[in-house]
Amino acid sequence: MGKRIRAQRKGSSPRYRVASHRFPGANRMPRATDIVGEVTDLVHSPVHSAPLARVKLPGGETTLVSATEGIAIGSSVAIGDNVALKPGNITRIANIPEGTAINNLELRPGDGGKIARAAGNSCIVEARVGDKVRIRLPSGAIKELPENCRATIGVLSGHGRDEMPLRTAGAAYYKAKARGKLFPHVSGVAMNPVDHPHGGGNHQAVHGPSSVARGTPPGAKVGLIAPSRSGRGRGKKL
């Protein structure tokens, strides 16, 4: 007798639920402007690869932001248009000189930060193009964003964190568990036909199409989910 595949179990089993009670809070840049806050603590968050900085604002409320390299407890964080070019300060990308490293960059003004939020990541301000600013992303890709998008000046802390190997299987297990994932992860093609749509055969391979429709039931919704195209890409290489 087979078992329910992962896609079915994830909907009802607490095993796949993220233990969010351990998370200190969301990493979002405050909406207030022209203020100076103070870093009161550096916080470890299991779901974030880089540490977070707890910033106390002048009104007494606190917020969590990405900890940039160079800041410490007691450091000041300025938020607004007239800020110094100092790691940890938050301002619009229109005010940041070309060639400056930034992190926690917004895709749309006011969204709180979406890009370059992993440990050691940063973007580079390339140039200004009309009312947009050209940014080089951590992947090397170029993207033009509205000049009112905000970012944090500097490189995100935690550089080199992914270079340390996971020395034990237990470390990999708890790393996955913090994000609601399962470790070890067994490939579908390694299973029997009764256990997974990709299972079975005389060798490990997906026999038949691996593309499925968006409305496929959970028992068969594995592989390429509603792909825009299938097959090997034969376009011109860049």
pTM summary value: 0.76
Written as six digits, the tokens of 136 are 């080089």
φ and ψ at residue 129, rounded to 5 degrees:
-130, 95
**DSSP-derived 3-state class of residue 112:** coil
Cα–Cα distance between 84 and 76 in angstroms, integer?
11
- Where exactly are the structural domains of the chain? 21-161
Count other Cβ atoms within 10 Å, centred on residue 202: 6
At 82-137, the pLDDT tens digits run 899 999 999 999 999 999 999 999 999 999 999 999 999 999 999 999 999 999 99
At 181-223, the pLDDT tens digits run 889 999 999 999 999 999 999 999 999 999 999 999 988 999 9
The strand pair at 150-153 and 76-79 is best described as unpaired
Which stretch of 157-161, 166-170, 230-234 has the lowest confidence by average pLDDT? 230-234
* Residue 97: cis peptide before it, omega within 30 degrees of 0: no
Amino acid 236: pLDDT: 54
- Taking all residues of the chain, what is their mean pLDDT, rounded to a whole number? 90
Residue 8: its H or E element: helix 6-9
CA atoms within 13 A on the CB side of 188: 19
**DSSP-derived 3-state class of residue 160:** coil
CATH number of 21-161: 2.30.30.30
Which of the pair, 164 or 38, is modelled with greater confidence?
38
φ and ψ at residue 112, rounded to 5 degrees:
90, -5
